[in-house]
Structure formats: C-alpha cells, structure tokens
Amino acid sequence: MPAMPRARYTVPATIAFFAVIMTGCGSSAAAPDTAARSTNSPQATTNAMGQGRADVGNGMNGMRGMGGKNGMSGMGPMAGGKGLRSAADGYHMTSRLTTLAAASHAAYTFTITEPGGAPLTRYATDMTKKLHFYAIRSDLTGFQHIHPVMAPSGTWTAPLAALTPGRWRLYASFIPATGPRAGTEFFLSRTITVPGPHAAVPLPPPAVAVTNDGYTITTSGNLMPGMAMPLRITITRHGRPVTTLQPWLGSYAHLTAIHAGDLAFAHLHPEGTTHGDHGGPTLIFNANLPETGPWRLFLQFRAGGRVHTAPITINS
C-alpha cells in the first residue's frame, strides 16, 4: 500500500476522534447502522494487516483540521456524536452488502446519497482524493486504508484485500462539493460480516518501539486524555535515522488511532509541510486522545518507493 499524504491534522496536526463502537470478534455486539452527525472540515491505498487525521469516527461533528496545503492544518470544532452510523444530516451511506466472502480479493460497493435521496456525485478533493475508505476488524487485527473508484452513477467500488473471518466496520470519509452541507466533512460507516471460524486476538501490550519492514518506530510523549499533547514518532532503519520519507497523499505520514475499549476512530497527520523526499526522522503529532486506556496506532509512511504500515499500541 502507498504512503499517506497530507496531514489532516498538521501544523499541530490535531487528532479529532470519532468514537466508533464496533463489535469485536467474539466480543460485544456492534452498534446498528443508524443516523449520525458530520464533522466539520474540508482522503487510499490498500493495506491489510493481521495485527495496526485526527477524525473521530461514529458520524459526528468531530474535531478536524482546517484544509491547508502541503500537509498544513489546524484544529477544528468538535461536537458530540459517534461515527458508527450510516447517516448524518441527510447524507446516507447505503449498500446491499452485509457479508463478504473470505477471499483473496473482495469488492464492496456502496453509494452516498444526499438530502433528497439522489446519489452524491460531486465531491471536494481532500488529501488528493475524493473519498477515503477504511476497513477495520473489530479486534484490531485487520486494517485497510484504500481509495475506491466512483462510477458516473455515483456508486463506489472499494477493492478490498483478503478479509479474515469476523466482524468488520467500513468507514467512508468525504466532503460534498455542493448542496446544503458543502465543505463539511462526513464520516459514515456500515458493518459487514465475513463468515467463517474466528476468535478475537488479544491486543499486543503497549510498547515504546516496534520494528516493521526493517524500520523501527519509536514513540515518545506523555499523553493525557482530553488534552492536546505532542506525540513524537521517530523512524530509524538499521540504527540510522531515516531522512528520506516521501510525500504520500499530501503528507509524510498518516496515523490512524483506534481505542481498544470502544474502538473510537481517529486519523491525524504530522505538523509542518512537505519538502520533497526529505521527511523524517522525527514526526510530531498533536494528539488529543479523548479516552484513557490502550490505543492501537497504525502509522503509514512512504519510503524507498513503497508505503509501509507499522502498528503499535500506546496508553493514554
């Protein structure tokens, strides 16, 4: 999967979380796909993992960065809601699919309808894309961030990599270019089940550093629930600082955070601007994690011509 661009939360990239309560494989039942609210603020490549801007999922008006160039953004307002829902302010995420087979590839088709019921076909570009799509397994052992393709009719097709059996929640992040809520960012979601034997996998314990694809990711920062605190992430390879990160989707990195308790969803980007293939080794995120406990982070960055995804667990 390619590396993520633009910092949705940059210039202190602030993490706004959309609490997304999902059913864990072998855990509590998922919330229904019902109406929710949107988030204010004006982003995929596929990445499937068997183990891990700031936007809070659950279809709420979340804290969002205000659009900026080269990964620059500020902090937006945050309102109540939970990004678990399939509808918000008259916009709906619809699909006939409730199950997908555990296969090498799967196509998930869906439509975003606007107030009045017509398919939404005009979207604003965000982080170089018209729509960003995330697939997350309920025990956090599966993660994909992809960019679907839209047909002239308004139907989107998300080409998913192989899904493992269990419960998944699928999120769509988009900004209408026209209509009553033009310029407002929405986060809608639906759930699917992948039939087959499955069991929840325990979350890996919190760690200061992890190694993935030969890159070592080290985190530092004293995170406190409900307070914006700097989260520093340093990337090294074979003991040497990596200073050749490449822009991906408008930013040097994309960080998706999911709360292990209720699966609140957040996405953020590092502060600062991109300047060619010279990113790193340290990236700073302004992280405002609203809840205590463990969070699973999925750091995506581009280096050596390909996108890498490194999962790591931290505590807030």
pLDDT tens digits along 241-299: 999 999 999 999 999 888 887 777 777 889 999 999 999 999 999 988 778 898 999 99
What is the rounded CA–CA span in Å between residue 192 and residue 181? 28
pLDDT tens digits along 113-159: 999 999 999 999 998 999 999 998 999 999 999 999 999 999 999 99
Question: Domain residues for 221?
Answer: 209-257+278-315
Residue 216 within any structural domain of the chain: yes
Q: Which residue has the tokens 């869906």?
A: 110
Q: What is the CATH number of the domain that holds 219?
A: 2.60.40
Residue 121 within any structural domain of the chain: no
Residue 228 within any structural domain of the chain: yes
Residue 35 within any structural domain of the chain: no
Higher-confidence position of 15 and 152: 152
Residue 243 within any structural domain of the chain: yes
pLDDT the model gives residue 83: 66
Instruction: Look at phi and psi of residue 161 and say left if phi exceeds 0, alpha if psi is from -120 to 50, else beta.
Output: beta
Residue 263 makes CB contacts below 8 A (sequence gap 6+) with: 19, 20, 21, 22, 24, 136, 138, 140, 169
Whole-model pTM over 0.85? no
Provide the domain count of the chain.
1
User: Does residue 20 have a pLDDT over 60?
Assistant: no
Beta bridge partners of 181: none
Residue 167 within any structural domain of the chain: no
How many residues comprise the chain?
316
Show the beta-strand stretches assigned E in 127-176.
131-137, 143-146, 149-150, 155-161, 166-174
What percent of the chain has pLDDT above 90? 57
Residue 189 within any structural domain of the chain: no
Residue 239 within any structural domain of the chain: yes
